[in-house]
Amino acid sequence: MSKVGFIGLGIMGKPMAKNLLKAGYDLVVYDITSGPVDEVVAQGAARAQSSAEVATQCDVIVTMLPNSPHVKEVVTGADGILEGAKKGTIIVDMSSIAPLVAQEVAAAAAEKGVEMIDAPVSGGEPKAVDGTLAIMAGGKQEIFDKVEEMLLVMGGSAVLVGDIGSGNTCKLANQIIVALNIAAVGEAFVLAQKAGVDPEKVFNAIKGGLAGSTVMNAKVPLALEGNFKPGFRIELHIKDLQNALDTAHGVGVPVPLTGNIMEIMQALKVDGHAGDDHGGIIQFYEKMAQVQVRK
Task: Just list the catalytic residues.
Answer: 171
Nearest-angstrom CA–CA distance, 66 and 236: 8
Other residues' Cβ atoms within 10 Å of the Cβ of residue 159: 15
Nearest-angstrom CA–CA distance, 280 and 185: 11
Nearest-angstrom CA–CA distance, 74 and 18: 21
Question: Residues 216, 207: contact at Cβ < 8 Å?
Answer: yes
- Could you give the C-alpha distances from 212 to 5, 177, 197, 202, 293, in angstroms and in order? 39, 14, 18, 11, 18
For the chain, strand residue ranges (E) read 4-7, 27-30, 46-47, 60-63, 90-93, 115-118, 121-122, 133-138, 155-162
- Could you give the C-alpha distances from 39 to 6, 44, 51, 128, 210, in angstroms and in order? 14, 9, 18, 16, 43
